[in-house]
Amino acid sequence: MTIVRSETTVEDPMIALARDRIAEIVKRHLSTNGRPETAVAGLTIHGKTGPAEPASFFYDPSFALIARGSKRVVLGGESYVYDESHFLMTAVGLPTIVQVLNASESQPYYSIKLSIDLDLARELISELAQYGAKAPVASMGMAIGPVTPSLALAAMRLTELLDRPQDIPALARSLQREILYHVLISPIGDRLRQAVQLDARTSRVATAIQWIRGNFAEALRIEELAAMAGMGESTLHHHFRAITAMSPLQYQKHLRLHEARRLMVNDRIDAGLAAFKVGYESSTQFNREYSRLFGAPPKRDVTAILSNDVAVRQRATPSL
């Protein structure tokens, strides 16, 4: 497995100020509301004050910023580890396994995640011709970038709207646009530009990803998927793996398994029914592939999740 780690940098005082303010707001709102969703469209808040087991999580195109702590995100054969000095950018929908690292009452974990409005991103890219050149090849659809003072302060101001809900209609979109601007001009901004530019290869792969996500229980025919994306089969395979670290069939399998896990934890259905609902015809194959991905057979894995009282976190995971 390839491990991508954020590198420790000298902390800027403005970043520290923004990080402290975000953490304070997230802590207070989680204590009051107890749920990740907020009044700002696309903005979710997250916290953890104890040990965390690896959990299934589907990242939509998004920007994630940690105010306290660190996190590991596993995507296929890639493992991303980042902390307060870096942000995580996801350009396309990706099924992952996430784990908050070393959280405790004395050292809690707090973060925010903002779903990226792709239309807003396209609008902004069209206005930034100096940053709009397409990269020559498709790149991984997830990356870690350095937090700058400007980005941190923009994220802080967006989070502060949770304390001023009357200002959300007037200010939220402009602050989301400001955050997107700083992501786009960052060292990893090309990943997002590729995904949203309609004629880019990454955007064509994103079309295939969107279809698989909406139809993961159906049989996958690569030739039809390639035609839908406007690419040859071998070209689709090459760029799909470059962006997601998986082949289209592996991506579909991960979606099925993550959804089956969610169904068993949230809806308390058994493994056989979960396997059927996500498109498996063989329970033996389902059990084998589930164990390979999650490290234990379905019944044992789900029992461990529920007994460790992490069902709340799983319910917060959006369905596929």
pTM for this entry:
0.85
For residue range 185-200, list pLDDT tens digits in order. Answer: 999 998 888 888 766 7
Closest CA to 86 of 26, 140, 9: 9
Return the exposure string of 191-210: e unless at least 16 CB atoms fall within 10 Å of the residue's CB, then b: bbbbbbbeebbbbbbbebbe
Mean pLDDT for 214-227 is: 96
Residue with tokens 């020559």: 136
Return the exposure string of 230-241: e unless at least 16 CB atoms fall within 10 Å of the residue's CB, then b: ebeeebbbbbbb
For residue range 2-11, list pLDDT tens digits in order. Answer: 666 666 556 7
Q: Are 240 and 251 in contact (CB under 8 A)?
A: yes
268: alpha, beta or left, given left = phi > 0 and alpha = psi -120 to 50?
A: left
Mean pLDDT for 234-248 is: 94
Per-residue confidence (pLDDT) for residue 8, from 0 to 100: 55
For residue range 45-93, list pLDDT tens digits in order. Answer: 999 998 888 888 999 999 999 999 999 999 988 899 999 999 999 999 9
Predicted confidence (pLDDT) at residue 312 exceeds the cutoff of 50 = no
